């Protein structure tokens, strides 16, 4: 297990034992509900449908590759988080996982708040009508222009990431005659991925202000003295794709310890704590994520217990799931272009996309599942690797895949759980055009982000 290869902050790595891959599934036509969006099923003809639409029809109408998003599933997951945390807590969807104006409207309608971490994300949120006071602005190097825009827009909180930023935001807010609500992001010396976490005194990473050495306490001390700032709480984000709650337990213990020190020194009890995001989802049948209600119960209990121990009023909790809401709701639909058996090794299946629409496999060694979706097949399974069309041998979408041995050019295959960090991290490598996002609901499909065109590409190239 690699415990240190992934930088902190927006961490999406799945870390699995070396040489790990599952045995072939008993039935290659089966669709594990753990990894597929809620309304996905295989119809009587063997064609996979989502929201009542056949993937063959989606491919005809919208082309491939395409991200296909199950709107009902997105809304259900957003609502489940909202309901699980209730009215005494806030759920901020982490926009970096996937952001579009349609998604912002769904979040608004389902009562969630929104995290943004750039001017572009802020612009998207505001243009879709998300009330500014439900937006949190993140980032370790927000530009003065971004800060000014966020303050002018009236964002509900800015999460401060450094000593310099404390002064910078205070100065901008004061010059605009505003007292900006802020949280201070600290690093508590906990790094969590999947089934493990490590607790250390120091965290060697770019985000936040270390608790170690009294730095976080000093940051709060300074922020409390500045007229432009209203310090509403402490923020901690410990990792990504986490299944094990014990990392949050250590983090909450340390955050509450700081709240207590602040109370003892300054006589103020900060009213909020944010425990970040990072909750895991199932990319393959081996993953066992927790339900939002279990997570809410565990986090609430941990914070309540810690606060009772420290004789503090329990602060309002917020969480920031990104992947756990949008990840499972989409799959990427590809057309098979070539099938190349390599004797004694495996079969390379080339699709019409690749690392430009899903960089996670190359970047994090992420594991994915894949299925033939345009028809059912009774053929024997073959060990395959699904690769893209880029000029790069690391252009792998699914490293170890079992697919039917009769797979042929023209078949449609789909990779589930690509809702998070795929479209949002997509690139134009090899001048490949980024796929559309097609939202499906109740038998109707609608493009929410259109496919890029060569015109789009050439528009930026001024010659
Ligand atoms: C990336 C990030 C999140 C969301 O992480 P997920 O793994 O998508 O849940 C939440 N909060 C902060 C501060 C982040 O950087």
Query: Could you give phi then psi for residue 245, rounded to 5 degrees?
Result: -80, -10
Please tell me whether 323 is known to bind a ligand: yes
User: For residue 386, what is the enclosing H or E element?
Assistant: strand 381-387
pLDDT tens profile 310-343:
999 999 999 999 999 999 999 999 999 999 999 9
Residue 279 CB–ligand 1 contact under 6 Å = yes
The reply to whether 353 and 306 lie within a common domain is: no
19 pLDDT above the threshold of 80: no
The reply to whether 340 and 430 lie within a common domain is: yes
Residue 237 CB–ligand 1 contact under 6 Å = yes
- By annotation, the residues acting in catalysis are 391
Residue 10 CB–ligand 1 contact under 6 Å = yes
Looking at the CA of residue 235, tell me the nearest atom of ligand 1. 13
Residue 239 CB–ligand 1 contact under 6 Å = no
Q: Which of 460, 456, 439 has the alpha carbon at shortest distance from 50?
A: 439
Q: What is the DSSP letter of 425?
A: G
The reply to whether 343 and 297 lie within a common domain is: no
- Residues 73 and 329 sit within 8 Å (Cβ to Cβ): yes
6 pLDDT above the threshold of 60: no
Of the residues 277, 295, 321, the one at which a domain ends: 321
- Residues 417 and 328 sit within 8 Å (Cβ to Cβ): yes
**What average pLDDT does the chain have?**
94
432 half-sphere exposure, CB direction, 13 A CA radius: 21
CA pair distance 196, 2, nearest whole angstrom:
10
pLDDT tens profile 371-423:
999 999 999 999 999 999 999 999 999 999 999 999 999 999 999 999 999 99
Q: If you average pLDDT over residues 115-133, what whole number do you get?
A: 98
Q: Residue 253 has what pLDDT?
A: 96
Kindly state whether residue 9 falls inside one of the protein's structural domains.
no
pLDDT tens profile 215-263:
999 999 999 999 999 999 999 999 999 999 999 999 999 999 999 999 9
CA of 275 to the centre of ligand 1 (A): 10
Residue 96 CB–ligand 1 contact under 6 Å = yes
CA pair distance 158, 277, nearest whole angstrom:
16
Q: If you average pLDDT over residues 197-215, what whole number do you get?
A: 89
The reply to whether 290 and 166 lie within a common domain is: yes
Please tell me whether 109 is known to bind a ligand: no
State the residue range of the domain holding 340: 41-70+328-459
Of the residues 303, 321, 339, the one at which a domain ends: 321
Please list the residues that pair with 157 across neighbouring strands: 136
4 pLDDT above the threshold of 60: no
- Spatial neighbors of 460 by CB under 8 A, at least 6 apart, are none
Q: Residue 22 has what pLDDT?
A: 63
CA of 182 to the centre of ligand 1 (A): 18
Please tell me whether 419 is known to bind a ligand: no
Core vs surface per residue 216-234: b (16+ CB within 10 A) or e: bbebbebbbebebbebbbb
Q: How confident is the model at residue 194 (pLDDT cuts 50, 70, 90)?
A: confident
The reply to whether 197 and 311 lie within a common domain is: yes
Q: Residue 16 has what pLDDT?
A: 41
pLDDT tens profile 143-183:
999 999 999 999 999 999 999 999 999 999 999 999 999 99
Q: Which residue has the tokens 């509403």?
A: 232
Q: Which residue has the tokens 């259109």?
A: 450
Q: How confident is the model at residue 2 (pLDDT cuts 50, 70, 90)?
A: very low
pLDDT tens profile 414-460:
999 999 999 999 999 999 999 999 999 999 999 999 999 999 999 99
The count of structural domains within the chain is: 2
CA pair distance 23, 117, nearest whole angstrom:
40
15 pLDDT above the threshold of 80: no
Residue 77 CB–ligand 1 contact under 6 Å = no
Q: Which residue has the tokens 């003065």?
A: 144
Q: Residue 10 has what pLDDT?
A: 37
Core vs surface per residue 365-390: b (16+ CB within 10 A) or e: bbbbbbbbbbbbbeeebbebbbbbbb
| Angle of CA points 137, 141, 142, to nearest 5° | 45
| Angle of CA points 279, 282, 288, to nearest 5° | 80
pLDDT tens profile 269-319:
999 999 999 999 999 999 999 999 999 999 999 999 999 999 999 999 999
Among 241, 255, 278, the mutation site with the greatest number of ligand 1 atoms within 8 A of its Cβ is 278
The reply to whether 152 and 285 lie within a common domain is: yes
Kindly state whether residue 102 falls inside one of the protein's structural domains.
no
Residue 138 CB–ligand 1 contact under 6 Å = yes
Kindly state whether residue 307 falls inside one of the protein's structural domains.
yes
Q: How confident is the model at residue 83 (pLDDT cuts 50, 70, 90)?
A: very high
CA pair distance 196, 164, nearest whole angstrom:
33
Q: How confident is the model at residue 3 (pLDDT cuts 50, 70, 90)?
A: very low
CA pair distance 346, 383, nearest whole angstrom:
5
Looking at the CA of residue 280, tell me the nearest atom of ligand 1. 7
CA of 321 to the centre of ligand 1 (A): 6
The reply to whether 316 and 332 lie within a common domain is: no
Kindly state whether residue 370 falls inside one of the protein's structural domains.
yes
- Spatial neighbors of 57 by CB under 8 A, at least 6 apart, are none
Nearest CA to ligand 1 atom 10: 277
Please tell me whether 364 is known to bind a ligand: yes
Output 187 or 2, whichever has higher pLDDT: 187
Q: Which of 438, 430, 449, 369 has the alpha carbon at shortest distance from 22?
A: 369
Of the residues 271, 295, 321, the one at which a domain ends: 321
Kindly state whether residue 118 falls inside one of the protein's structural domains.
no
Please tell me whether 321 is known to bind a ligand: yes
CATH of residue 423: 2.40.37.10
For residue 377 the two structure tokens come to 């097949």
């Amino acid at each position: 297990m690699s415990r240190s290869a992934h930088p902190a902050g927006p961490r999406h790595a799945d870390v699995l034992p070396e040489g790990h891959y599952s045995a072939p599934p008993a039935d290659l036509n089966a669709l594990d509900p753990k990894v597929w969006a809620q309304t996905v099923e295989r119809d009587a003809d063997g064609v996979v449908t989502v929201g009542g639409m056949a993937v063959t029809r989606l491919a005809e109408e919208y082309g491939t590759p395409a991200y296909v998003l199950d709107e009902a599933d997105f809304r259900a997951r957003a609502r489940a988080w909202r309901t699980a945390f209730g009215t005494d807590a806030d759920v901020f969807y982490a926009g970096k996982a996937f952001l579009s104006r349609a998604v912002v409207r769904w979040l608004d309608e389902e009562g969630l708040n929104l995290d943004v971490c750039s001017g572009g994300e802020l612009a998207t949120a505001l243009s879709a009508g998300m009330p500014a006071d439900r937006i949190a602005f993140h980032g370790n190097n927000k530009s003065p222009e971004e800060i000014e825009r966020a303050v002018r827009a009236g964002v509900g909180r800015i999460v401060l990431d450094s000593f310099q930023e404390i002064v910078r935001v205070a100065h901008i807010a004061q010059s605009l005659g505003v007292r900006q609500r802020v949280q201070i992001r600290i690093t508590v010396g906990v790094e969590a991925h999947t089934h493990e976490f490590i607790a250390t005194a120091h965290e060697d990473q770019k985000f936040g202000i270390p608790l170690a050495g009294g730095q976080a306490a000093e940051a709060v001390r300074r922020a409390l003295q500045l007229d432009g700032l209203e310090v509403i709480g402490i923020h901690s984000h410990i990792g990504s794709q986490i299944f094990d709650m014990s990392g949050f337990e250590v983090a909450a213990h340390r955050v509450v310890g700081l709240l207590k020190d602040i109370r003892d020194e300054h006589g103020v009890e900060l009213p909020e704590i944010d425990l970040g995001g990072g909750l895991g989802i199932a990319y393959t049948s081996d993953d066992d994520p927790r339900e939002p209600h279990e997570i809410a119960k565990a986090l609430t209990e941990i914070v309540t217990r810690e606060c009772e121990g420290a004789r503090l009023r329990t602060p309002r909790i917020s969480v920031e799931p990104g992947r756990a809401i949008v990840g499972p709701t989409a799959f990427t639909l590809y057309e098979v272009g070539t099938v190349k058996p390599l004797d004694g090794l495996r079969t390379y299946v080339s699709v019409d996309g690749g690392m430009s629409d899903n960089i996670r496999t190359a970047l994090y060694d992420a594991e994915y599942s894949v299925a033939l979706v345009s028809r059912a097949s009774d053929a024997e399974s073959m060990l395959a690797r699904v690769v893209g069309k880029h000029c790069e041998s690391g252009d792998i979408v699914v490293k170890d895949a079992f697919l039917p041995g009769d797979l042929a050019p023209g078949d449609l295959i789909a990779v589930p759980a690509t809702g998070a960090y795929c479209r949002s991290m997509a690139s134009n490598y090899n001048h490949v055009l980024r796929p559309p996002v097609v939202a499906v609901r109740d038998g109707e499909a609608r493009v929410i982000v259109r496919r890029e065109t060569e015109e789009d590409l050439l528009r930026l190239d001024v010659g």
